[in-house]
Amino acid sequence: MAKFKMNVERTLNAFTSGTYQVHEAMYEFVDNSEAADAKKVHIIVEKGNKEPVEKIIVSDDGSGMTAGELEASLEFAGEIRERGNFEVSEFGVGMKAAAFSLAGHFTVITKSCNGNISGAFLDRERINKDQEFEGPQDTPTRNYDELWEQYAVDKDSTGTIILLENLLQTTYGTCKAFIGRQQDSSGKNGNSGIRHNERLATRYRAAIDSGRLKIYTINGQRGRPTLLNSYDPLKRNEEDTVRIIEQTIHWAKRDANFNFILTRVSNENSSLSDFGFYVTVAGTTICKDSNRLFGIYKENSSHSYRWPLRGEIDFATKDEFLKVMNFTSHKHEVQIIDESFGDWLRDSDIGRAVVAETSLRMQQAQDAKIAKSRLAFQDANDKFVEALNTEKNIYGASRTFLKYFGQVKGLKAGLFEARSDIARLEKGVIVYNPSHPKLSALLKNKAAANFRDHQAARALATVAALQNEEEHTSINFYEYHSFMSNLLSMHI
């Protein structure tokens, strides 16, 4: 029987090259910290400030590992322990793959509850060439005690430190850019770096809000720890957010339960990038689908009428999640096990609510469009009247029409007995007949693009109204034509 063979170098490259963005690699390390019951995590970059990034350090105060546990943890896809129902760790690949996606040198220092400090040093080039690394049982080439003193969150407590050197990441040129700035509640100070609201702040929202975990970023050896605030894309506790659905959902086909919340945020509080359905597993937000909404819509559907909506599918445990979905290999996306889930979701309270909200938003958008057109049309009417009262040259040399200069008070639609009547002057207001065939044709579309038609209607109504006032006065063709031409050529 043939033996299955694996090229270590090519396999390691395949697992690491281009598979992790920087913040996704940070997820792997912080996930492990959470699984070790860490209360604090420090993410440090050196040299610091605006200097290039030379080292990345992730340090926690979790339970730490013994030398044997550390060695077992460095096995690729190893079964070092039973993974809990309340953690998202799944494949035994993440820490190693994430580390080598960012760096050529990967050091782990850990302190267990017995007070012993252990370390391991992995050089990607050496692993590729000889399939060897410096394990915790080997004679160390690095001073792990010294590294512990330098980077430990709490030197007297347990914990683990990940040190990445000989960096491969090119996303961030400086330490300042790597750390970035978290956007505040006013929407200022920008989203950037690993402090971007949509990254660690969203993924660990529940843990941060509960006080279970504090994540700090540190720029350089002398930098101060800066606490990361949580970010809730659903804005569920904002005063102007509407909670449309908030209930436990049961999918009978897979006997799966999850909590679901659907919110509508205000336009003022809305970021288009937050739209979508999020998946949370045991308190960790794994991913977001802003395309199909997990099968409710077809691929690449337009969502402009649904942008204020945000949903969250929240599985209390990993077991419940695995009834419906699987992690992709690096746990930053999910795959639905059974495509009928999307059909069921579409026909459930969730799908019906989204459809209802879509209809509501479409109507609101249409109403807003109509209201905007009306306001724009009325504003143009007011400017037209203002011009009649301030631009004397419009009246030309006409003595008949000139006497109305400064006397026109308004322009509005009114009621008329006969459709053939165009307009009349009523206490200084030009009242026009919107049912008159010619005016109706000119005013049938209130969109701003039809300004010339609207201007022609105003001019026609104005001349007709003033003519009616002068029904016993002879108005020669030149006066009429000159006044009408000037009205049509008004630029307002």
Do residues 30 and 41 make contact, with C-beta atoms less than 8 angstroms apart? yes
C-alpha triplet 17, 21, 27: angle, nearest 5°: 115
- Residues 89, 206, single domain; the answer is yes
Instruction: Examine residue 268 and state whether it is found in any structural domain, yes or no.
Output: yes
Alpha-carbon distance 277 to 260, whole Å?
10
Residue 7 pLDDT > 70: no
- Residue whose pair of structure tokens reads 């033996």 in the numeric block: 3
Alpha-carbon distance 242 to 41, whole Å?
34
Amino acid 3: pLDDT: 43
Domain of 337, in residue numbers: 242-347
Looking at 330, 347, 364, the residue that finishes a domain is 347
Residue 74 pLDDT > 90: no
Instruction: Examine residue 364 and state whether it is found in any structural domain, yes or no.
Output: no
Instruction: Examine residue 3 and state whether it is found in any structural domain, yes or no.
Output: no
Per DSSP, the residues of 247-271 read EEEEETTTTEEEEEEEEE--GGG--
Alpha-carbon distance 312 to 369, whole Å?
31
- Residues 152, 60, single domain; the answer is yes
- Residues 155, 213, single domain; the answer is yes
Instruction: Examine residue 366 and state whether it is found in any structural domain, yes or no.
Output: no
pLDDT tens readout for residues 176-229: 999 999 987 666 677 899 999 999 999 999 999 999 999 999 999 889 999 999
Tokens representing residue 341 in the block: 């889930």
Burial class for 34, CB neighbours closer than 10 Å (0-12, 13-18, 19+): buried
- Residues 307, 390, single domain; the answer is no
* For residues 153-158, average pLDDT: 96
Residue 248 pLDDT > 90: yes
- Residues 42, 134, single domain; the answer is yes
Minimum mean pLDDT among 163-172, 265-274, 405-414, 433-442: which range? Answer: 265-274
Nearest to 16, CA basis, from 118, 132, 113, 96: 96
Nearest to 229, CA basis, from 215, 219, 243, 239: 215
Using only C-alpha atoms, what is the Rg of the chain? 35
- Residues 212, 292, single domain; the answer is no
Higher per-residue confidence, 18 vs 415: 415
- Residues 67, 190, single domain; the answer is yes
The pLDDT-based confidence of 86 (bands split at 50, 70, 90) is low
pLDDT tens readout for residues 452-487: 889 899 999 999 998 888 876 777 777 788 888 888
User: If you average pLDDT over every residue of the chain, what do you get?
Assistant: 88
Instruction: Examine residue 282 and state whether it is found in any structural domain, yes or no.
Output: yes
Q: Are strands 276-281 and 214-219 parallel, antiparallel or unpaired?
A: unpaired
- Residues 172, 70, single domain; the answer is yes
Whether the link from the prior residue into 47 is cis, omega within 30° of 0, is yes
- Residues 416, 285, single domain; the answer is no
Amino acid 15: pLDDT: 57
Residue 11 pLDDT > 80: no
Tell me phi and psi for residue 474, to 5 degrees.
-80, 120
Instruction: Examine residue 358 and state whether it is found in any structural domain, yes or no.
Output: no
Percent of all residues in the chain with a pLDDT value above 70, rounded to a whole number: 89
Alpha-carbon distance 271 to 273, whole Å?
5
Alpha-carbon distance 460 to 458, whole Å?
5
Higher per-residue confidence, 446 vs 92: 446
The CATH number of whichever domain residue 174 belongs to comes to 3.30.565.10
Q: Which helix (H) or strand (E) holds 327?
A: strand 325-327
Strongest mean pLDDT among 7-16, 82-91, 203-212, 451-460: 203-212
